[in-house]
């Protein structure tokens, strides 16, 4: 994908809904079970709502019961970046789009697959991409 040209806050607000802006640009969280993507069964890949880069594949999605789409890995090692998040009185690993730096969700080490990972991602950050 081409180099991402940073957008101004005003350009982001024009591009995204209020909820999308809150999650992607202000590190917010959508309500659990509010996204149609929290359930498995979708086919293909999921891209970033902010920039369109492919992030996760449906073959790596699983039902964690947490209310948010969960994946055991990204489409490749470069799809997302991980950062320490000390907000809300806890220490977590924040997951961001490596291309446009949008907040996606968090990574937890309690996944049921061999990776042991659970990428807990806000569905509002994802756009389905058909194969």
**Residue 54: inside a domain:** yes
pLDDT for res 60: 95
**Residue 86: inside a domain:** yes
pLDDT for res 95: 97
Q: Note the pLDDT tens digit of each residue in 53-79.
A: 999 999 999 999 899 999 999 999 899
Which of 48, 51, 120, 125 is an active site residue?
Answer: 120
The CA-atom distances, in angstroms, between 119 and each of 18, 66, 73, 76, 92 are 23, 11, 7, 13, 12
Q: What is the CATH number of the domain that holds 71?
A: 2.170.150.20
120 catalytically annotated: yes
- List, edge to edge, every strand of the sheet that includes 126-129: 54-57, 45-48, 126-129
**Residue 55: inside a domain:** yes
pTM here? Answer: 0.91
**Residue 22: inside a domain:** no
Domains in the chain, number: 1
Q: Note the pLDDT tens digit of each residue in 85-102.
A: 888 888 899 999 999 999
**Residue 72: inside a domain:** yes
**Residue 28: inside a domain:** no
């Amino acid at each position: 994908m081409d180099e991402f040209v940073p957008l101004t806050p005003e350009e982001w607000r024009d591009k995204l809904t209020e909820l999308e802006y809150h999650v992607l640009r202000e590190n917010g969280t959508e309500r659990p079970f509010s996204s149609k993507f929290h359930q498995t069964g979708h086919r293909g890949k999921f891209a970033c709502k902010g920039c369109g880069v492919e992030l996760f594949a449906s073959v790596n999605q699983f039902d964690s019961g947490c209310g948010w789409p969960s994946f055991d890995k990204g489409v490749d090692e470069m799809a997302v970046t991980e950062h320490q998040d000390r907000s809300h009185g806890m220490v977590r690993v924040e997951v961001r789009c490596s291309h446009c730096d949008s907040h996606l969700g968090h990574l937890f080490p309690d996944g049921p697959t061999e990776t042991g990972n659970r990428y807990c991602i806000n569905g509002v950050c994802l756009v389905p991409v058909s194969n």
